[in-house]
Amino acid sequence: MLDQAAVLELIDQLRVAVPDEVRQARRITEDAGRITERAREEGDAVLARAQEQAVQMLEERELVRAAQQRAGEIIDAANEEAREVRRGADEYAAGVLIRLEGECIKALTSIKRGIDMLDERHRPTASADGGQPVRSIGVDSEEQAPATPRP
């Protein structure tokens, strides 16, 4: 049935071939282990870098947010200061204009008195010109500015 010599030869060939296959399988397993370990280390390194970048981006975002908030505060303060300066300038201008109005009223009152005085001097008692007073400067009492300054 089976040739004993052939079977023995096959067993010898298996003994010789199996250790090579076992060694090759062992080498492949070791290589796979090293590759897996290297991949794990690289993955850990990539993960660590990603976490560092995420932390950095969060810090930068926080810095940008803080800078934007501070810029808003500075702008608000500048706008408030500008409003105060405008209000002060308006008050100053109003004061100057009120004083100027008072001075103008005094000057107009003085001018009116001078005209009235000239009218009194040149008023004829009964003259040929019809008794009209001489009024060469045309300021009527309706044209005169109010006598009291505004507050």
pLDDT in tens, 129-147: 555 554 444 444 444 445 5
Instruction: Mention every residue, 6+ apart, whose C-beta is less than 8 A from residue 98.
Output: 149, 150, 151
Does 127 score more than 70 pLDDT?
no
Does 124 score more than 60 pLDDT?
yes
State percent of the chain over pLDDT 90: 57
Does 64 score more than 80 pLDDT?
yes
Question: Which pLDDT band holds residue 8 (cuts at 50, 70, 90)?
Answer: confident
**Assessment of whether the complete model's pTM goes beyond 0.85:** no
Token pair 């290297």 in the structure block, residue: 38
Cβ burial 109-142 (10 Å sphere, 16+ → b, else e): eeebeebeeeeeeeeeeeeeeeeeeeeeeeeeee
Please report the pLDDT score of residue 65 as a whole number: 92
Please report the pLDDT score of residue 21 as a whole number: 73
Please report the pLDDT score of residue 37 as a whole number: 92
